[in-house]
Amino acid sequence: MGSPEAAALKQLAAKQDESGLEDFTKPQAVFNIDVVDRVTGKRYTGAFRAKAPTLADNTTIGLVSAMRAGGSPWDSIPPVVRRRIEVLATFEVLLVGRPPWFNDPSSFYGEDVISAVYEKILQHWHVFFRSGPDPGRSESPAEQSGGEASSLEG
């Protein structure tokens, strides 16, 4: 991480690691991952900042997903590919801070790193939206808007 913003993000994430808690109750959350990709054997560690999706963000995720589908009818795309498209679109819209090695998440060979980051985003959604005015809400924002909000494993 070379930029001052990346260094500040890393420092904030380190403070959260010391406390053992990630504060997912706020509109933006900082989290760390430490994952070994089973395909390449490479270890990836870094700090991320993700925002909770607004209604506009959910719309943008849908539009980016449609664009990535290249005009193909959504139902003609295999479910595992649809899920990957939605996950990559989610990263594009909601990740507001990331390590440089995650600038192109579609370049990974395996799904271990992608799944670890997406699971953290889902944890943030669940905690943030349950801590708001409707604590009985059980779906993530993507599920509420008709998307599938689960890990890449399908």
What is this structure's pTM?
0.72
* Neighbouring C-beta atoms of residue 81, cutoff 10 Å: 12
Beta carbons of 69 and 100 less than 8 angstroms apart: no
Tens of pLDDT, residues 62-74: 999 999 999 899 9
- The domain ranges of the chain are 4-144
Instruction: Identify the pLDDT of residue 1.
Output: 44
Three-class DSSP category at 133: coil
- pLDDT tens digit string along 27-41? 899 999 999 999 999
